[in-house]
Structure 1
Amino acid sequence: MNHFPIFLALEGRRVLVAGGGDAAIAKLRLLLKTTARITVVAENASPEIRQWAEAGKLTLIDRAQEPGDALCCVVAYGAHEDVALDARTLRLAAADGALVNLVDNLEKSQFITPAIVDRDPVVVAIGTEGAAPVLARKIKADLEAKLSAQLGVLARIGKTFRKAADVLPMGAVRRRFWGEYYDMVGPRAAQDGEAAIRDALDTLLDKHVRAEAREGHVDLVGAGPGDPELLTLKARKALDKADVVIHDRLVTPEILELARREALILDVGKEGFGPSTAQSDIDALIVEHARKGAHVVRLKAGDPTVFGRLDEEIEALDAAGVSWSIVPGITAASAAVATIGQSLTKRSRNASVRFLTGHDMKGFADQDWAALAQPGEVAAIYMGKRAARWMQGRLMMHGAAAATDITIVENASRADQRIHAATLATLPDRMTQVDGPAVILFGLAPRAASIALSEREIAL
């Protein structure tokens, strides 16, 4: 990010626009929506700018820019549509202490003005750092269509009501009040005018003040394999509402970035055979925050119902009397097999698939290895790096062919994803090349390799 987005306080402060043509008019139409004191310096200002000056909306200096014109200005615009004149504006205004923007000159500008969706006092700024102005305009058009024209009225009235709402406890309780106002009560009341909105706010506040303190809620959410675009809509909505996010080690930063800025983010990551947070401590942490009235999102990589120790957390929540719901996610095996262009099941090959974890060796050792060793069988094996050699021996002891195809998908769906082709014979050696979390797809090769093998068999 080369341009840091901020909203400048302009009330009563000076802004300079140097230039009097179309580019200056475009900037002025936006600046005139503010409470700034606007000065235009131009030798040949357009009739529209002169009309604004006559109406007292700005001050017009009918000459070329001189040193000192930008003194005490917060920002200045070079809008001559002339490279030499704009360069002069940059030199003079910067010497006077102003930040300078040159219209259509990103490289020389000290700041940029974003595309804006205006629902005063709600303002949405959209910037692409000059890389894609057309995209910024498209996003602006999409937002214009989605944001109600009443949003500004609701925000203005809500602002006047903030002190009254301070009777509610800070945090989740107060956020619920404002959420209900902006989501439901306010828009409905706005149909009957501003007075109806104020009455509705009074009624809503009384309802929340009288309401008994209520406990929070826990969403047990699957974050998917890592790609934010594979996050479900329901998971995205849960993150939007979360007061507290308690996440695993494998949840990616890109997904955590989708949580509300005000949310408390807690890392309770576990690492196989490494540093870990005890499950009992995780259970206690979830319950603690829910009992304080927070909306808690317990965010688990993949799908919480697949090797996610979900039942233990549900039992803790039930014992504490805390409400919960499960939001499924895409499990790593689904992402991994999609990456290699294969299916987990296929007619005439395998009618079932096994999901195994090599982390819990006690359960892992009890698998029906003889059945899995049969030709055509498929398994997705999670957390199997340390158990790879043991698994190889157990399968070969039960008759599995050394040439059985295996694909190891490391960091499935992420930007640093890697695919390692192997066989049962080479599995342990291949696993030494794997650094990140991986799914072992037993019985599957990438589609291209699988097709090539079939063609060779037919030729023989």
Structure 2
Amino acid sequence: MDYFPFFFDLRQQPVLVVGGGQIALRKVRLLVQAGAIVRLISPECLAELEQLVSTNRGIWQKKAFAPADLEACCLVVCATDNAAVNKQVSALCKARYLPVNVVDNPDLCSIITPAIIDRSPILVAISSAGAAPVLARKLKQQLETLLPEQYGKFATFCGNLRDKVKRALPENQRRYFWEKLIAGPVENLVYQEKEDAAHEWVTTNLNVAQQSPALGEVYLVGAGPGAPDLLTLRALQLMQQADVVLYDRLVSDPIMERVRRDADRVYVGKRRAEHAVEQADINQMLVDLAKEGKRVLRLKGGDPFIFGRGGEEIELLTANNIPFEVVPGITAASGCAAYAGIPLTHRDHAQSVRFITGHLKADATNIRWPELVADDQTLVFYMSLQGLPAICEALIKHGKAASTPAALIEKGTTPDQKTYTGTLESLPQIARQESIQAPTLLIIGGVVALQPELQWYKRHN
């Protein structure tokens, strides 16, 4: 994030503008719309600008800029074509920690002016951090078509209801009510100036909400293998809707940035032999939070039902009559293999795929190794880094050729992805030499031999 976005309340606030030409005129128009009281400093001034300032309780001082002019103002806008003046104003303001915008010169700014969509009290601000203003304007044009001109009127209607809703409903029910209101007929009723009907809808639904306490629900959502652009649309919708998020170690930071910002976040990640929260406790936490009336997002790396223990979680939810929804995610096998250029099936190499947990521990003997040695299948081992030597040794022992191609994909689908290829015989040594770190995915089979030719991710990233 190059800039932290703020909305600046300038009503009745003194703002200094240095410059008297067309650029200053454009900025002053915005400032007076925001209620600022403008003091203009410039030896010369356009007649239109002088009139705009004076009719909005501002003043034009016909003189050159001096450091003393920075007294008694909360914001400075420098809009001159004099490079020396621009640098002087910028340096003096920054030395005083006074916000300054030097028009069309981001390097001299401590704040910048975004492209604005005004549906007051709704405001949308778009910035390219000064890198591509034309692109920001294009995005503004696209968003303009999506927001009705009367959107501000509807926002004002909602704002006038806030105290009423706050008095009527406890905190955990208000968000449900607001979402129902926004999705319902009230918006169109307001646009059609049928506010009596809109208020009738509000009263009726507030009464219903008071008589029927909100029942919480749980969403088991697959976050995919790591790249945020591999999230499903439904996953993004629920990530913005949840009140509480329980998330795993494999859920990447860029994905967590898509979660609703005011949602409570609970880390329940697990590493080998190191569990932040035991699975039974996670299951019970989902039930307890839902019974409090909260919408709980259980966010898992990959897919909830592929080595994600989602089945165990919904068993307890079902036993407690908790409503739930399961949203599949792109599992690591699909995502990592695709980014590495390894097709999981191929007419010439593999007609089937097996997903196997590589977290062997004491149940290693439960893996039916003889079933895994056929050459016409691809083997995908999850959580396999620690058990890699044992996996390769067991497959060779049960008849799979030591020369069988194999690959380890580290941090798949992320900018840090690395793919290491070798054979069943050589891959454990490669892993030791390269100090490979989890998370990793192990792929074994003839399809791995296609990787050098098909590695899309390396060519395009």
TM-score (ref. length: structure 2): 0.91
How far did residue 331 of structure 1 move? 0.3
Q: Which residue of 1 aligns with 2:317?
A: 317
SS at match of 2:104: coil
Asked if 2 retains the 8 angstrom alpha-carbon contact of 1:340 and 1:447, the reply is: no
Alignment of 1:132 onto 2:132: yes
Alignment of 1:441 onto 2:446: no
The one-letter amino acid of 2:448's match is A
1:147-203: CA deviations, max 9, x gaps?
A: 232221122222222111112445431111222223334322223217347525643
Flag as ranges the 4+ runs of structure 1 deviating above 6 A: 91-97
Matches within 5 A, 1:246-395: 246-361=246-361, 364-395=364-395
Q: Distance in 2 between matches of 1:394 and 1:96?
A: 69
User: Which stretch shows the higher mean deviation, 66-75 or 293-302?
Assistant: 66-75
Alignment of 1:226 onto 2:229: no
Change (3 A) 1:88 1:313: closer
User: Which stretch shows the higher mean deviation, 220-229 or 196-205?
Assistant: 196-205
How far did residue 362 of structure 1 move? 5.6
Matches within 5 A, 1:68-147: 68-90=68-90, 98-147=98-147
SS at match of 2:220: strand
Q: Distance in 2 between matches of 1:9 and 1:446?
A: 62
Matches within 5 A, 1:198-213: 199-200=199-200, 202-203=202-203, 206-213=206-213
Change (3 A) 1:127 1:399: same
User: Which stretch shows the higher mean deviation, 429-438 or 355-364?
Assistant: 355-364
User: Which stretch shows the higher mean deviation, 244-253 or 106-115?
Assistant: 106-115
Asked if 2 retains the 8 angstrom alpha-carbon contact of 1:72 and 1:97, the reply is: no
The one-letter amino acid of 2:392's match is Q
Change (3 A) 1:436 1:96: closer
Asked if 2 retains the 8 angstrom alpha-carbon contact of 1:24 and 1:80, the reply is: yes
Change (3 A) 1:93 1:402: closer
Q: Distance in 2 between matches of 1:354 and 1:31?
A: 63
Asked if 2 retains the 8 angstrom alpha-carbon contact of 1:342 and 1:447, the reply is: yes
1:26-64: CA deviations, max 9, x gaps?
A: 101211211111222233211221332453453233333
1:236-274: CA deviations, max 9, x gaps?
A: 001010101111111111111111111011111111222
How far did residue 409 of structure 1 move? 0.7
SS at match of 1:356: strand
Asked if 2 retains the 8 angstrom alpha-carbon contact of 1:154 and 1:182, the reply is: no
How far did residue 395 of structure 1 move? 1.4
Q: Which residue of 2 aligns with 1:458?
A: none
How far did residue 360 of structure 1 move? 4.5
1:83-123: CA deviations, max 9, x gaps?
A: 13334544676788843221122222232222222111111
How far did residue 418 of structure 1 move? 1.0
How far did residue 341 of structure 1 move? 1.9
Q: Distance in 2 between matches of 1:130 and 1:152?
A: 28
The one-letter amino acid of 2:437's match is D
Percent identity (aligned): 35
The one-letter amino acid of 1:289's match is L
How far did residue 140 of structure 1 move? 1.9
Change (3 A) 1:158 1:409: same
User: Which stretch shows the higher mean deviation, 28-37 or 345-354?
Assistant: 345-354
Q: Distance in 2 between matches of 1:119 and 1:176?
A: 24
Change (3 A) 1:95 1:223: closer
SS at match of 2:298: strand
Q: Which residue of 2 aligns with 1:454?
A: none
Change (3 A) 1:414 1:197: farther
Asked if 2 retains the 8 angstrom alpha-carbon contact of 1:356 and 1:382, the reply is: yes
Change (3 A) 1:93 1:255: closer
Q: Distance in 2 between matches of 1:390 and 1:52?
A: 79
Q: Distance in 2 between matches of 1:56 and 1:138?
A: 31
Q: Distance in 2 between matches of 1:284 and 1:254?
A: 28
Q: Which residue of 2 aligns with 1:415?
A: 415
The one-letter amino acid of 2:188's match is R
Q: Distance in 1 between matches of 2:245 and 2:305?
A: 18
The one-letter amino acid of 1:254's match is P
SS at match of 2:401: coil
Asked if 1 retains the 8 angstrom alpha-carbon contact of 2:244 and 2:265, the reply is: yes
Change (3 A) 1:204 1:89: farther
Change (3 A) 1:56 1:238: closer
Q: Distance in 2 between matches of 1:308 and 1:97?
A: 50
Alignment of 1:34 onto 2:34: yes
Unaligned 5+ runs, structure 2: 455-461
The one-letter amino acid of 1:378's match is T
TM-score (ref. length: structure 1): 0.91
Q: Distance in 1 between matches of 2:322 and 2:250?
A: 26
Asked if 1 retains the 8 angstrom alpha-carbon contact of 2:16 and 2:38, the reply is: yes
Asked if 1 retains the 8 angstrom alpha-carbon contact of 2:220 and 2:326, the reply is: yes
Q: Distance in 1 between matches of 2:81 and 2:438?
A: 53
How far did residue 9 of structure 1 move? 2.1
Q: Distance in 1 between matches of 2:62 and 2:266?
A: 60
Unaligned 5+ runs, structure 1: 452-460
Change (3 A) 1:102 1:412: same
Asked if 2 retains the 8 angstrom alpha-carbon contact of 1:119 and 1:152, the reply is: yes
Q: Distance in 2 between matches of 1:448 and 1:98?
A: 56
Asked if 2 retains the 8 angstrom alpha-carbon contact of 1:66 and 1:92, the reply is: no
1:342-371: CA deviations, max 9, x gaps?
A: 321122432211000011446553333223
How far did residue 309 of structure 1 move? 0.9
Alignment of 1:49 onto 2:57: no
Change (3 A) 1:209 1:303: closer
1:183-242: CA deviations, max 9, x gaps?
A: 334322223217347525643553454341131111110000000000111100010101
Q: Distance in 2 between matches of 1:96 and 1:68?
A: 12
User: Which stretch shows the higher mean deviation, 254-263 or 87-96?
Assistant: 87-96
SS at match of 1:445: helix
Q: Which residue of 2 aligns with 1:154?
A: 154
User: Which stretch shows the higher mean deviation, 90-99 or 390-399?
Assistant: 90-99
CA RMSD for the aligned pairs?
Answer: 2.3
Q: Distance in 1 between matches of 2:7 and 2:104?
A: 21
1:259-298: CA deviations, max 9, x gaps?
A: 1111011111111222342111000111111111111111
The one-letter amino acid of 1:251's match is V
The one-letter amino acid of 2:334's match is S
The one-letter amino acid of 1:324's match is F
